[in-house]
Amino acid sequence: MRILGLDPGTVRMGFGVIQEEGEELKLLSCGVLTAARSDPLPDRLYALYSQILELVSYWQPNALAVEEPFVAKNVRSAMAVGQAEAVALIAAAHFGVPAFTYSPRQVKQSVADYGGGSKEQVQEMVRVHLGLSYLPEPIDATDALAVAICHSHHLQEQRLIMVNDQIESSL
């Protein structure tokens, strides 16, 4: 299973591609997609959309996982990030790739075992989950890898539930 994780933004969008190999996760690629801050929002969203299409076309993921925007004090900013999230979901639909969204708390809980973990804790746990000798950077890419890992964990839980249901139904 190949998973493309995205940490949406309207100027910088982190991405991370991981591959499940049995019980292990392997880092295939990570980085940041960018759009010119000086461009109007529609142009930035289109630039990001085009780059996501290139990523999906190249890596051919089996799933796309996107972090939902965090709404705190700046609702306007959260709405713009929500539009970037929508662009990612539309790109997935363009290729028929199943797309999944996770809240920041779900991602942190899954990766760092604590829903209120710091960026540094998440970065360290991404390193551990992927068996890396270095901290993945930049932080936008780390966040995207965390979303991909979260989705992998979600799939593992679903597989365990299916196996448990099969065992119970055969008893």
Amino acid making up residue 143: D
Burial class (CB in 10 A: 0-12, 13-18, 19+), 97: middle
Residues with Cβ < 8 Å from 171, sequence gap 6 or more? none
Identify which of 7, 13, 16 has the alpha carbon closest to the alpha carbon of residue 149.
16
- Distance, CA of 46 to CA of 10 (rounded, Å): 10
Residue recorded with tokens 């890396």: 132
- Active site residues per annotation: 7, 67, 140
